[in-house]
Structure 1
Amino acid sequence: MSAPSEKPKPELKRVLGLSSLVFYGVGMILGAGIYSIIGKAAGVAGHFLWLSFVIAGLTAGLTALSYAELSTMVPKAGAEYAFLSFAFPRKKWLATTSGLMMFFSAAATAAAVSLAFAGYLSHFLDLPQELTAMILLLGFTSLSIYGIQESSRLNVIFTLIEAFGLIVIIWLGVGSHFGRTIFSSPLASGVFSSAALVLFAFLGFENLVNFTEEAKQPVRDIPKAILLSLGLSTVLYILVSIAAVSLVDPADLAKSTAPLMDAAMTRSVVFGDLLGSIALFSTANTVLIALLAGSRILYGIAKGGDVPAIFARLHHKRHTPWIACLLAMAIALCLIPTGTVDVIASLASFATIISFILVNIAVICLRFSHPQQHRAFFIPLRIGRFPLLPALAVITCGYLILEFQKEVYGLMALFWILGLVLSFISNRHK
C-alpha cells in the first residue's frame, strides 16, 4: 500500500500581467503624495515646489534602475529582504531589518494616506477623521485578504479616476497663468527639505517587486512596470506642482487639509467638489496597495525563515497571506493617533531611503561578486565593473536622509533596534 502523498502547499496566484502591474505602480505612486502631502511640501519649497519634485523624481529614478536590475536576478516576493539576502548572505540581519523597515514603511503609508482620505471626506461629511481612517483600513484589509485579482480590478478603476483628477488640475492651471509664478521668487532654502518629504509621493514603484510571485512573467514585466509607472507619474507630478502654485499661493496650500481640492475651488466650486471626490478614490487606492505590498514583504521574510513562519501562511481558499495582512493593518491602526499626515509620511520616507541606499549598494557589490550571472535588465554606464548610477543614487539618498525632523530619527532608530532583536530571536530559535 503506497503512502499517501502530501497535500501541496498553497501558493500565490500568478494572475498579473504587465498592464495590471503598471496600474498598481501608477496607482500607488499617484495617490501616495499629490493628494496628501503636496500642501506641506509647498509651504517649505514655495513656488519652487516643482524643483523639489524634479529632485525627488531623479532620486527615485536612479534607485528604480537598481530595483529593475535586481528584480531579474532575484525574482521573489520580499523585495529588499530577498535582494540583500542574496547580496550579503552572511549578514542576514541586514536583510531582515531592511525588509522589516519596508514593511513598516508600507504600514505607515497606509496610515498617512488613510488620514488624507479622512481629510478630504470631512469636506463632504462631518465625521471623526481618525475613526474614518480606521474604518477604511479595516475595509481594505478585508479586500486584500479576499483576493489579489479582485483587488487588481478595483485598483484599475481607481487609478484611472485619480489620473483624471490630476489632468483636471493641470488643465485648470493652464488657464490660470500656468508656470508664470515658478520663478517669481528667490530660490527657497527648503527645496531639498521639501524634496525629502516629496519623495514620499514617489514611493510605490519599489513595491511592484513584491508582486513578483503573482506576476505571469515577472522577469520580463517587473522591470518594465517599474520604469513605466515611475516615468508616467513623474511627468504628471511636475505638471501638477506647477499648476497648484499657479492656482493658490504656496503658504495657503500649506494650511489646507485638502490642498488640490482647494486649488480647484479657486476656479469653481464644481471643480473643487470634483477634485475632492476624485481625491477620495486616489487616497483609498493607495491605502489598498500599501496594505497589499506590506503583507507581501512580510510574507517574503517569513518564507525566508527570518520572522515567525506564521506570517507566511496563506488562506486555504483565497491563497493570500492573511495573517501578514492583519499585522500590516494593526501597525497602521496604531500609527493613526500618533501624528499628522506629514509626520507619518516622513517616517515612511525615512525607512524607504535607508532601504534604497542598501539596495543600491547591493547592486554595486553584486557586479563584483556575481559578474557572470544573467541580468535581463542591466543598468547602463559603468567604469569597469563599477556601476555609476547606483553610486550616484547612494549619494543623493544620503543627502536627503539628513533633511528630516529630529523625532523621525528617534522613532526609526527604535524600530531598527526592534528589527535587530526580532532577527536575533528568530535566528537563535532556528
Structure 2
Amino acid sequence: MVELQRTLSLWQVTFMSVGIILGAGIYVIIGEAAGLSGNSIWLSFLIAAFVATLTALSYAELSSIFPKAGAEYVYIENSFGNRAAWIVAWLLLLGSVIGGATVAMGFAQYFSAIFHTPVIPVALLLLFVIIIILIVGVQQTAKLTIVFTAIEISGLAIVIFIGIPFIGSVNYLQAAQGFKGIIEAGILIFFGYLGFEGITRLAEETTNPEKNIPRAIIYSMIITTILYVLVGVSAVSVIPWQELSASQAPLATVAKRIFGDQSFLILSVIALFSTFNTALMFLLTGSRLIYGIAHQEAIPKIFTIVGRRFRTPWVAIVTIVTATMLFLFLGNLKTIANLTNFTIFSVFIFINASVIYFRYKKPTMTGFRIPLHVGRFPVVPFLGILTSVFMIVNLPFDVLIIGVILVVLGVVVDSILNLKYK
C-alpha cells in the first residue's frame, strides 16, 4: 500500500499552525467578540489564550509519545478504549467540518464586501478549489500555506502599526456587557486559537515528529497570542467597539478609517488569503484524521487509500470537503463557530484526562513532559479539564442542545460501525 511521506520540517509545521490559527480568529470573529467585550477585547484574547495553552501543552506531551496521523483517536484509544476514542474522533471530524464551513463563510463575506457577490456560492467555489490543492500534495500545500501566512502577518502588522498613535485613547477596561461579556467573548475568540491540535495529525508527514510537533505547537501559540493581543488593542483604539462589531469586514474597517478606501480593499484582500489559508488547513488536518482513524480500523479501509501520483489520501479529502459544503447552509456564522467550540472543548476534556491517565498508569513513557505537578498528578491538564468544562457550560443553550444531539448521533454511528469494523 502507498504510504504518506515525511517531508515537513519544524519551521514548515510551525508556519502551518500559525496560519490556521491566525485566519479564523482575527479576520472572522473579532467583530462579534467586540460586541460582547467592548474595549476589553484584549482581555478576552488573553483568557482564550490561557485556556488554549493548557490543552496545547497536553497535545504536545501526547504527540511526543504517539506521533500518528490518527492523533486524538490514538491517544484516547490507548487510555480510555475504542468507544471513547470514536466519540472523540466523531467530535473532531465535526469540528473540522463545521470549522471549515465557518472560515469558508468568512472568506465569502470578505469576498462579498469587495465584489458584492452572494456568500454561499463563493464559499462553495472556495471548497472546490481546496479539494484540488489538497489532492495535489502536502508539500505543495505547505508551501502555499507559508506564503499565505506571511501575507496574513503583514495584514495584522498594518493594523498594529495603524493603532500605535491611538494607544491610550480609550479605557481598555471598559466592557460592553461586563465581565460576563468578556468571558463570552473569550469563548467565541477561542475559535481563533483552533489549529494547534490539527498539526498533530501531520505527524506521519513530519520529520522527527516526536520533537518537532510539540515545538511547533508551543511556538505557534506564543506567536499568535502576541499578535492577537496587539491587534485587539489597536482595533478598539482606532474605531469604537460598536462600529467594529457592526462591520462585516472589521479589520478592513479599521484600516479604512486611517488610509481610506484603498486600505479597506488591501485589508479585505489579505483577509481573503487568511481565511482561505485557515479553511485549507482545517480540511488538510481533518482529512488526515479520517485517514488515521481508518488505519486504526474504526471506519472502512477505503479512507486509507493514498493516490500513487500525489501520495495524498484523496478519498478522505473528497469526503471531508463534501461534508463541509453541507454545513454552509446553516448560515449563522456565530452559531457554527460556537458549535465548533462545543466539539473541541469536549475533546479537550478527554485529551487532558489522557495525560493524567498516562502519568499514573504508564509513568515510564518518555517524551515531552508538561511542567508543574504534585507528585504524579499533573496540574496543567487538570486546569485544562476545568476550563474546558467552564467554557462548555457558558455556551449558548441552543448550541448545547445541538451539541448533545451530535454526540448521541456519534454513539449511534459507532454502534453501527462496531458491527463490522471493530
> What is the TM-score of this pair, normalised by structure 2?
0.97
Matches within 5 A, 1:227-242: 227-242=218-233
Show the counterpart of 2:76: 84
Matches within 5 A, 1:370-381: 370-375=362-367, 377-381=368-372
Q: How far 1:268 sits from its partner (Å)?
A: 1.6
Q: How far 1:321 sits from its partner (Å)?
A: 1.3
Q: Does 1:243 align with 2:212?
A: no
Contact 1:307 / 1:422 at 8 angstroms: preserved in 2?
Answer: no
Contact 1:35 / 1:260 at 8 angstroms: preserved in 2?
Answer: yes
Matches of 1:75 and 1:258 in 2, distance apart? Answer: 39
Matches of 1:309 and 1:415 in 2, distance apart? Answer: 24
Q: Which amino acid aligns with 1:260?
A: L
Show the counterpart of 2:98: 108
Structure 2 residue ranges without an equivalent (≥5): none
- Find 1:411's aligned residue among 389, 402, 417: 402
Contact 1:48 / 1:188 at 8 angstroms: preserved in 2?
Answer: no
SS of 1:37 mapped into structure 2: helix
Show the counterpart of 1:69: 61
Q: How far 1:184 sits from its partner (Å)?
A: 4.4
Contact 1:172 / 1:243 at 8 angstroms: preserved in 2?
Answer: yes
Contact 2:27 / 2:271 at 8 angstroms: preserved in 1?
Answer: yes
Q: Does 1:276 align with 2:268?
A: yes
Contact 1:27 / 1:282 at 8 angstroms: preserved in 2?
Answer: yes
State the Cα deviation string for residues 233-279 of structure 1 (Å, max 9, x = none): 01100111111111222222222111111111111223222111110
Contact 2:40 / 2:174 at 8 angstroms: preserved in 1?
Answer: no
Matches of 1:20 and 1:82 in 2, distance apart? Answer: 24
Structure 1's 315 and 44: CA in aligned 2 closer, same or farther, altered over 3 A? same
Q: How far 1:181 sits from its partner (Å)?
A: 2.9
Q: Does 1:133 align with 2:123?
A: yes
Show the counterpart of 2:333: 341
Show the counterpart of 1:209: 200
Matches of 1:217 and 1:427 in 2, distance apart? Answer: 34
SS of 2:258 mapped into structure 1: coil
Q: Which amino acid aligns with 1:283?
A: T
Matches of 2:108 and 2:166 in 1, distance apart? Answer: 29
Quick check: which one's helix share is greater?
Answer: 2
Matches within 5 A, 1:190-201: 190-201=181-192
Matches of 1:78 and 1:46 in 2, distance apart? Answer: 40
Matches of 1:316 and 1:306 in 2, distance apart? Answer: 24
Q: Which amino acid aligns with 2:127?
A: L
Percent identity over paired residues: 37
Matches of 1:413 and 1:257 in 2, distance apart? Answer: 31
Contact 1:30 / 1:202 at 8 angstroms: preserved in 2?
Answer: yes
Contact 1:46 / 1:188 at 8 angstroms: preserved in 2?
Answer: no
Matches of 2:175 and 2:416 in 1, distance apart? Answer: 55
Q: Does 1:294 align with 2:293?
A: no
Structure 1's 178 and 146: CA in aligned 2 closer, same or farther, altered over 3 A? farther
Q: Does 1:142 align with 2:132?
A: yes
SS of 2:73 mapped into structure 1: helix
Show the counterpart of 2:29: 37
Q: Does 1:423 align with 2:408?
A: no
- Find 2:344's aligned residue among 339, 346, 352: 352
State the Cα deviation string for residues 304-329 of structure 1 (Å, max 9, x = none): 11112211221222121111111211
Matches within 5 A, 1:385-396: 385-396=376-387
Contact 2:37 / 2:175 at 8 angstroms: preserved in 1?
Answer: no
Show the counterpart of 2:52: 60
Show the counterpart of 1:4: none
Matches of 1:98 and 1:349 in 2, distance apart? Answer: 14
Show the counterpart of 1:5: none
Matches of 1:59 and 1:317 in 2, distance apart? Answer: 41
Q: Does 1:119 align with 2:114?
A: no
Q: Which amino acid aligns with 1:420?
A: V
State the Cα deviation string for residues 167-193 of structure 1 (Å, max 9, x = none): 110111112235643124584431111
Matches of 2:5 and 2:169 in 1, distance apart? Answer: 46
Contact 2:13 / 2:216 at 8 angstroms: preserved in 1?
Answer: yes
Matches within 5 A, 1:137-176: 137-176=127-166
Q: Which amino acid aligns with 1:316?
A: R
> What is the TM-score of this pair, normalised by structure 1?
0.95
Structure 1 residue ranges without an equivalent (≥5): 1-8
